[in-house]
Amino acid sequence: MTKSAETTYDLVVFGATSFVGQILTQYLYDTYGVAGEVKWAIAGRSESKLSTLKSGLGADASELPVILADSTDDAALKAMCEQTRVIISTVGPYALYGEPLVKACVETGTDYCDLTGEVQWIRQMVDRYEDQAKASGARIVHCCGFDSIPSDMGVWFLQQQAEKTFGEPCQDVRMRVKVAKGGVSGGTVASIINVAKEAASDSQLRKEIANPFSISPPEHRSKVRQPALKGAEFDKTFNVWLAPFVMGAINTRIVHRSNALQDARYGKEFTYDEAIMTGTGTKGRLAAYGVTAALMGFLTASALKPTRWLVEKFVPQPGEGPSPEAQKAGFYDLRFVGRTPDGKTMITKVTGDADPGYGSTGKMLGEAGMCLAFDVPADKQGGFWTPASILSDNLLGRLTSKAGLTFEVVETR
C-alpha cells in the first residue's frame, strides 16, 4: 500500500524556521521555485516566524503555502501529513520532539526524512513503528544530513566501484576525514548532550550505544570484531595520525544498517570505522591526543549534571549558526579505503562545497526529500530505510548535480 499521488503537496518542510530549516527552505526556493512543477509548503508552530521567513526568500515567495502545526499537536500533525507525500523534518533533538511526527507519518502512509543523529531514538522508532510503516507504505529515512549521507553514500559508491573493478565488494572499509571546515551545528550539539545525559543513567542504553549493529535487524550481526578507534592511532595507508570522529558513532551504525537492508551486499563479515586525520609527525600525534582528550572531556562533562550546565553555556545552541558567507566558505573532504578479502584496495573520496553542519546539510536534506517524492518507485515497501538502501543511485545523481557533492575514485591497487 502506498499513498495516493493526488495530494496537495509533493513535500512539506516541518520546522522551516529552525536554523537548518531556513537554509533548507532557501535552497528549495532557489532551486525549485514556488510556482513550478514541485508543489511544496513550509510548516511550523509560529505563523509570524513563517511569514518572516517567506518575506526574506525572494520576490514571489508570497505564494509559498504555510501550514501551522506544533510538534505536540497530534491532530495538526496528522492533518499536515494527509496533505503531502513527503515530510522533511528539522525539529530536534528528535528524542525530545520527534516521535509524534514519525507516528503521524506512519499512520497516514506519508514518506519522511530528517537529519537526526540520535541512534537510541532511531532504535526506538524502528522497534515501535516499523511493522506499521510496512503496512501503511510509509518510507522513513533518518540521518539525511552530514550525518550520515556522505558516509552512507560514500561507502555505497565505493562498493559499486569495487564490484565493477574487482568483481566483488570490499569486506573492510575505513573512512577518514581529511579536512572539514565549518561550525558545529547547535542542534547536533544539543542531540549529543541529550544522548550523554540519557546514557549516564541507563546502563542498557550505554550497551546499545556501544553496539555497532544497534539499529540493524537482529539477524544481521558480524562474527568479526568491528574496529572502534578510541584514541590516537597512526594510519599506515595515509601516513597520518588519527583521532576519533564524533559522528562515527551514528555513521557506522547507518552504514551497517544499509548493508543489512541490501541483503549483506557488502558482505556478512563487513567491517567499517571512521576517524579524523590530524596530521603527520610529532605535530599530528599531539593533535590526535588533543582531539581525543577534548572529545572525551566534552562527553564526560555532558553526562554529569554538575558540569553539563557549563557545557550548554559555551556551545552553540539550537537555532544558532554561522553566517551565509561562512557557510559557503566551508567544505569537507572525506577519504574511503576499501579492501577485498584477498587484499585488493580502492581509495575513493567524497567532497562537499559548503559548511558540513549547515549549508551542505541543508542541500543534502532537500535532495533526499526530493528523491523520496519523485524517484522512489511507488511499490517500494514501507519501513525504516537508510539513504543508501532506498535512495541509492538516484540520490547520488541529485547530490552531484545539485547539492555540491563529488564522488570519485582516487586509486586502485
Distance of CA 146 to the CA centre of its chain: 5
Same domain, 96 and 210: no
- Same domain? 204 vs 66: no
Query: In this structure, are 197 and 72 located in the same domain?
Result: no
Q: CA-to-CA distance for 21 and 9, rounded, in angstroms?
A: 18
pLDDT of residue 5: 61
196 Cβ contact list (under 8 Å, min separation 6): 299, 302, 303
8 Å CB contact between 364 and 401:
no
- Per residue in 34-47, is it b (16+ CB within 10 Å) or e — as a string? beeebbbbbbbbee
User: What pLDDT does residue 318 have?
Assistant: 62
**Domain count along the chain:** 2
Is 1 contained in some domain? no
| 4 occurs within a structural domain | no
Each residue's pLDDT tens digit, 117-150: 899 999 999 999 999 999 999 999 999 999 999 9
Residues 234 and 381 in one domain: no
Q: Domain containing 108: what range?
A: 9-146+360-399
Per-residue pLDDT tens over the stretch 262-289: 999 999 999 999 999 999 999 999 999 9
Which helix (H) or strand (E) covers residue 348, if one does? Answer: strand 345-352
Does some domain include residue 48?
Answer: yes
The helix or strand, by DSSP H or E, that contains position 13, with its residue range, turns out to be strand 9-14
Give me the pLDDT at residue 107, please.
98
- Whether 321 and 203 map to the same domain: the answer is yes
First to last CA, the chain: 46
SS3 track for 150-195: HHHHHHHHHHHHHHHHHCCCCCEEEEEEEEEECCCCHHHHHHHHHH
CA distance 238 to 149: 23
Task: Verify that 113 and 154 share a domain, yes or no.
Answer: no
345 and 258 within one domain: yes
Residue 182 lies in a domain: yes
Judge whether 276 and 332 are in contact, CB under 8 Å.
no
- Spans of the chain below 50 pLDDT: 1
Q: Do 225 and 132 belong together in one domain?
A: no
Instruction: Say yes or no: 303 and 175 in one domain.
Output: yes
User: If you ran DSSP here, which 8-state letter would residue 388 be given?
Assistant: I
Which stretches of 236-323 are assigned E, i.e. beta strand?
A: 240-244, 271-279
Q: Give pLDDT, residue 187.
A: 67
- Which residue's entry shows cell 581525543? 292
Predicted local confidence at residue 320, as pLDDT:
67
Please give the grid coordinates belonging to residue 223: 562474527
> In what side-by-side order are the strands of the sheet with 172-181?
233-235, 240-244, 271-279, 172-181, 331-339, 345-352, 405-412
Domain with residue 37: its CATH number is: 3.40.50.720
Are 25 and 77 part of one and the same domain? Answer: yes
pLDDT of the residue at 274: 97
Q: Do 58 and 104 belong together in one domain?
A: yes
**292 neighbors 232 (Cβ within 8 angstroms):** yes
* C-alpha span between 354 and 150 (Å, rounded): 13
